Amino acid sequence: MKRTQIDQLWIRVSEIFSINPADARVGGNRRPRTVLARQAVAWLLHGRGLSLHETAAIMGYKDHTSVMDATAKMEKQPEELRARLQEACADQLPEVVYAHARKRAITWP
């Protein structure tokens, strides 16, 4: 099975936080480290130019306010963590954003 760009991003962030990638998806697991990993992915995607609504859709959040909350909480994290995330995911982010933008161009009038 071919992994999508967003799956690769989830795997990369999960490795940084030492969590299982399956637990990282929005859903039942609410351990602090898992929640922080989700917030990190939302912060990374929104920081690369995706709108709040687009990021929420990719993440599986109910609405855009969850992305707002996640990005605000990530901004309070140490600069070293944010820099490490951006560095580790730098090669994945453009592909995720491009793939989503291409999908948007096809599906939106």
Predicted confidence (pLDDT) per residue in 9-50, tens digit: 888 999 999 998 888 777 767 889 999 999 999 999 898 888
Distance CA 49, CA 19 (A): 26
The CATH homologous superfamily to which domain 5-107 belongs is DnaA protein, C-terminal DNA-binding domain (1.10.1750.10)
* Mean pLDDT along residues 62-77: 94
Which residue, 107, 44, 98, is CA-closest to 74?
44
Helix (H, G, I), strand (E, B) or coil at 52: helix
The answer to whether the Cα torsion of 85, 78, 51, 70 is positive or negative is positive
Residue 30's pLDDT is 83
The two tokens of residue 23 are 């637990």
- Domain positions in the chain are 5-107
Q: Chain-centre distance of CA 63, in angstroms? A: 15
